[in-house]
A and B are shown apart, each in its own frame.
Chain A
Amino acid sequence: MHEWALAEAMISTILNTAKEKGAKEIIEAKIKVGRLQQIEADVLTFAFRELIKKTPLEKTQIKLESEDARFKCRACGFEWDFGDVANVLDEDEHEAIHFVPDLAHAFVRCPRCDSPDFETLRGRSVWVEYVKISK
């Protein structure tokens, strides 16, 4: 599961940041999960729990929050949610977007003008919104 790779990346960046800031304790970390990448929250949570064992994150409260993926067409300005078009994609196309969200440009088109030239306004991938530390 590539959720493990993403969890690993987030843990590294949280630990690096905490070290840089001279944290005594990492109290909380908030993870945002963009719906475009179609991450399995259960797998991500499980990977997190496993990977933080015996690290300074062991007692950290990990908060996960989903965010809808929203696109904006650069050609006509129309905005839409990934959820509005997700049902027309086949399994392989969903898988491609799952691994590399930007590959949506190969499969998704603006529902109004059919353009593939759109931007992802939000909800692209996973990221750490913040960590709460004590000094």
Chain B
Amino acid sequence: MGRIRKNFKVKVPDPRLAITDERLKGVKRVLVVVSGKGGVGKSLIATTLSLMLAKHGHSVGLLDLDFHGPSCHIILGAKNLMPTEKRGIIPPEVHGIKFMSVVYYVGEEPLPLRGAEISNAFLELLAITRWGRLDYLIVDVPPGMGEEVLDVIRLMKRGEFLIVTTPSQLALKTVSRLTKLLLELKVPILGMIENMRITKTKIVEECAEKFGIKYLGFILFDAALEESVNIPEKLLKTSFARNIRKIAKNLGEI
């Protein structure tokens, strides 16, 4: 006699979770730019690094994960663009970078999202965005250590973290907390970048050393940088960009 088959109703997890790895399958490396502290230059570093890697012949994607204050589009001078809808959404190309941001959909409107809503919006974006083949996906993460950081760790398991700080004790205290968290969660940390250096100091280098992570170098404060925001060609010629090039070389990426 054959076995009697029994029928069962079973619950199914959130479908978006099942597809996020698939969406990132063609991406060789995911570089996540974080700080914990706001105003330290994460978006400028993430965007300039993306432009530089693209200029060196790499295929690059940039994801602005800041739902409350997206700004990478301003640095890129990206206007009047929309993703293409084709079995999902395909980010438009801006200066050789596949660029995705919530700004395409909300424009200049405020987007007052709470925690769970941020997680949902991020997961939705991950589930429907088709990046295709990329050498690098750079992720610009907003300040804090809430949903965006935790969700990048949860959902983008291949993320390698670049920690940005300024040589300010105020910034370093927060950055240290985030570094502790990343170490506790055992995520790969590529190293720490010192931005907006005005005078010679070792406090960032010492901080990186204390945590046993690589100090990737410094970026001098560039008073003329603001004039290049919006104009990527000009941005790549600034002393800011030259300093980032050295850091990218330190990382072995260019």
Contacts and interface: CB of A to CB of B under 8 A. Distances in A.
A and B: bona fide binding partners: yes
A129 B5 CA distance: 22
Interface residues of A, number: 44
Interface residues of B, number: 39
Contacts of A99: 89, 105, 124, 128
B interface, over-half SS: mixed
B102 interface: yes
A14 B105 CA distance: 30
Interface in A79-135: 92, 95-96, 99-103, 105-107, 116-117, 120, 124-135
B86 to A, nearest CB: 8
A72 B14 CA distance: 23
A9 interface: yes
A5 B128 contact: yes
A106 B120 CA distance: 15
B87 A13 contact: no
Contacts of A4: 87-88
Interface stretch (B17-25, B72-80, B134-142, B211-219): B17-25
A134 B102 CA distance: 42
Contacts of A24: 5
Contact of A13 (B14, B85, B125): B14
A106 B121 CA distance: 12
B12 A128 contact: yes
Nearest to B106: A106
Contacts of B88: 2, 4-5, 8
Given A95-B105, A105-B111, A105-B113, A2 B10 contact: no
B109 A106 contact: yes
B14 to A, nearest CB: 7
A17 B10 contact: yes
28 contacts: A2-B128, A5-B128, A9-B19, A10-B15, A12-B19, A13-B17, A13-B18, A17-B11, A17-B13, A21-B10, A27-B7, A29-B12, A95-B105, A99-B105, A99-B124, A100-B124, A102-B117, A103-B102, A105-B117, A106-B106, A106-B109, A106-B110, A125-B120, A126-B15, A131-B9, A131-B12, A134-B5, A134-B6
Interface of B: 5-19, 22, 85-89, 102, 105-106, 109-114, 117-118, 120-121, 124-125, 127-128, 130
